Chain A
């Protein structure tokens, strides 16, 4: 799938879609790798989740710097 060290190659969208490794698991509440990166990371629990799936702590504005 990915290029070896130092090897230059282009990747087509078809290759990417066909080689996405993703086993759907409802328990993990993980979005498909084919959703937009922005949405995926907006919903990513960077502060961790408890057993119910709720955020374990509130996000601080200081975390958003980039």
Chain B
């Protein structure tokens, strides 16, 4: 389980790097972690159920990853496919330890989790995906929200200079 000391030490390594570079590296680390962890879950599923995660029902595959995440003390998440036509998956992540530990950060701070979710879905989908945190839930009970998609798709939809994911977020709220 990754504790507060681990996260503070990890973020301290990048504390003097430009924000963009720091977030990119933390995302990359999370993505690698997500892929490795998905493969670990994959081995357990294959051993216990005789099938792969991709052969499992979608909800079951997601629940396997969800359960394993909770054991690591990283919270839990809900997956929403309302933005399917945009080519995006929306994830609400509850109880992010990063949002609590770095609650004094002004910008979204859960980049490792954005990468982690992208890694999970990359494993399930067989595509190279990326994640962006568009809202960091720092208030009690408020989830962090991530968008997962193809890197070029995210870049196109989340244009610099605009509120991160503003248009997409509005569409998501309308769909709910």
Residues on A lying within 8 angstroms of B by beta carbon are 2-11, 13, 16-17, 20, 28-31, 33-38, 40-41, 44-49, 53, 56, 63-66
Q: In the complex, A30→B83 CA distance in Å?
A: 10
User: Which residue of A4, A37, A46 contacts B57 across the interface (Cβ within 8 Å)?
Assistant: A37
Other 8 A-B pairs with CB < 8 A, given A47-B87, A56-B87, A65-B128: A6-B1, A8-B70, A20-B59, A37-B53, A37-B57, A41-B54, A44-B84, A46-B125
- The 10 A-B residue pairs with the shortest CB-CB distance in the complex, in nearest-first order: A41-B125, A48-B87, A33-B59, A38-B54, A3-B70, A65-B128, A2-B76, A37-B61, A5-B95, A66-B122
Contact with A along B86-124 (1 / 0, CB 8 A): 110000000101000000000000000000000001111
B149 within 8 A of A: yes
Among residues of B, the one whose C-beta sits closest to the C-beta of A66 is: B122
B160 within 8 A of A: no
Q: Is the interface of A mostly helix, strand, loop or mixed?
A: loop
Please state if B87 and A37 are interface contacts (CB–CB under 8 Å): no
B26 within 8 A of A: no
B residues contacting the other copy or chain, number (CB 8 A): 43
* 29 contacting pairs across A/B (C-beta < 8 A): A2-B63, A2-B76, A5-B70, A5-B73, A5-B95, A6-B71, A9-B70, A20-B59, A28-B84, A30-B84, A33-B57, A33-B58, A33-B62, A34-B57, A36-B54, A36-B55, A36-B57, A37-B53, A44-B84, A44-B87, A45-B85, A46-B153, A47-B150, A47-B153, A48-B153, A63-B127, A65-B127, A66-B125, A66-B126
Q: In the complex, A51→B14 CA distance in Å?
A: 43
Q: In the complex, A2→B62 CA distance in Å?
A: 11
**How many residue pairs between the two chains, A and B, have CB atoms under 8 Å in the bound complex?**
120
Smallest distance from the beta carbon of B161 to chain A beta carbons, Å? 21
